[in-house]
Amino acid sequence: MSLLILDTDPGVDDALALLYLRARADLKLLAITTVFGNADVETTTRNALWLRARLALPAPVYRGAAGPLTRPRGASPTHVHGENGLGDLDLSGVALSPADPGAAHERIIELVRAHPGKVTIVAIGPLTNLALALRAAPDIANLVAGVTIMGGAFAAGNVTPFAEANIHNDPEAAAGVLAAPWPVTLVPLDATLSCVLTNADARELAQQGEAGRFAHDVTRGYAKAYEQLDGCVLHDVAALVSLTRPELFETRVAPVSVALSGERLGQTVWAESGPTISVRLRADGAALARHFRETVA
């Protein structure tokens, strides 16, 4: 049984990641920690609380960073995740409890120290909380089982021609996290873009029970942003599947750095030195999407 902390900016594909997690008895969710990204942190935290209630997830929700370490926060991608961050799904009718007390990065430190060698942090938003945790407690680098990140782009970006959103949203945080001496697995766009939940698959899922209906409903707005695919991309789900089904990926192990200035800001690049990172460079996207559908249905 793996113990997980999910650091997230919900986000439609983040919601699908939580749906997938709920269906996996081998993954125990210790906490959901929130971060700005797909919306401001008030909204991503509200969405995490909504998802906890809607999906009956027995985990605390800790609010995290409102903006990057050193830069102003960029605009929210409402054209992808809607005005409410969850594809403008109707969120009424679900009673929300407040966020649990404590800052995300402090709770990450406590949980990692409480379960030495056992906790995997799965980060599917900007890496600010992880950078703050490392800054306050560098010892956690030796105490985690691993850190799995959805982020980065080696061939082409999604927010600029070079950069992927989670890294571009806080490049200094990402640079610090990739330079730390902990075991990191990076799941970049190069792999995730092939992992597509087609609209036909979503319609079929909708006939297969409550979880499938939720996957269908929450992705309707998000799928419009991926109109050319006739479906939508399972970026954040791919980070979790990288843990449960690593054989679905091709991996390159090498140091990686982050461009911190110029037009390539936020690009992930192969580096000459530094800690080695396991980069999931390609995925069997069809098999991954099928695995997602079979798991949640």
Q: Which residues are known to be catalytic? A: 9, 235
Query: Interface with ligand RIB includes 64 (CB under 6 A)?
Result: no
Interaction residues for Ca ion, span 222-241 (CB under 5 A) = 236
Q: Determine if 170 is a binding residue for ligand RIB (CB under 6 A).
A: no
Q: Min. distance of Cβ 17 from ligand RIB in angstroms?
A: 8
Count Cβ neighbours within 10 Å for each residue of 113-122 and write b for 16 or more, e otherwise.
Answer: eeeeebbbbb
Q: Which of 112, 115, 121 is nearest to 139 (CA)?
A: 112
Closer CB to Ca ion, 14 or 190, in the complex: 14
* Between 165 and 205, CB nearer to ligand RIB: 165
Q: Which is nearer to Ca ion, 9 or 164 (CB)?
A: 9
CA 95, CA 31: separation in Å to the nearest integer?
Answer: 20
125 sits near Ca ion (criterion: CB under 5 A): yes
Residue 7 touches which of Ca ion, ligand RIB, none (CB < 5 to 8 A by kind)? Answer: none
Cβ closest to ligand RIB, residue 9 vs residue 201: 9
Compare residues 109 and 233 and give the one whose CB is closer to Ca ion. Answer: 233
Residue 64 lies near Ca ion (rule: CB under 5 A): no
Give the chain's radius of gyration (CA, Å).
17
Q: Minimum distance between the CB of residue 43 and ligand RIB, rounded to whole angstroms? A: 13
Region of 92-100, 113-121, 159-167, 171-179 interacting with ligand RIB (CB under 6 A):
159-167
Burial 29-47 (b: 16+ CB within 10 A, else e): bbbbbbbbbbbbbebbbbb
Q: Which does residue 85 touch among Ca ion, ligand RIB, none (CB within 5 to 8 A, set by kind)?
A: none
Q: Report whether 85 contacts 38 (CB < 8 A).
A: yes
Nearest to 85 by CA among 40, 124, 126, 34: 40
Interatomic CA distance for residues 169 and 188, integer angstroms? 15
- Check if the beta carbon of residue 207 is closer than 8 Å to that of residue 297: no
196-198 vs 184-187, strand pairing mode: unpaired
Q: Is the backbone of residue 118 left (phi > 0), alpha (psi -120 to 50) or beta?
A: alpha
Per CB under 5 A, the list member of 5, 6, 11, 151 interacting with Ca ion is 11
In the bound complex, what is the minimum distance in angstroms from residue 139's beta carbon to ligand RIB? Answer: 28
Are residues 122 and 148 in contact, defined by beta-carbon separation less than 8 angstroms?
yes
Contact 38, 17 (CB under 8 A): no
With CB cut-offs between 5 and 8 Å by kind, which of Ca ion, ligand RIB, none does residue 170 bind? none
Nearer to ligand RIB, 151 or 176 (CB): 151
Q: How far is CA 120 from the centre of its chain?
A: 13
From the list Ca ion, ligand RIB, none, pick the one residue 158 interacts with, judged by a Cβ distance below 5 to 8 Å according to partner type: ligand RIB
190 binds ligand RIB (CB under 6 A): no
Residues 1-60 that bind ligand RIB (CB under 6 A): 9, 11, 13-14, 37-38
Residues 185-224 close enough to bind Ca ion by CB under 5 A:
none
Distances (CA, A) of 126 to 58, 164, 180: 24, 10, 16
Instruction: Give the residues lining the site for Ca ion (CB under 5 A).
Output: 9, 11, 14, 124-125, 236
Instruction: Give the residues lining the site for ligand RIB (CB under 6 A).
Output: 9, 11, 13-14, 37-38, 124-125, 150, 158, 164-166, 235-236
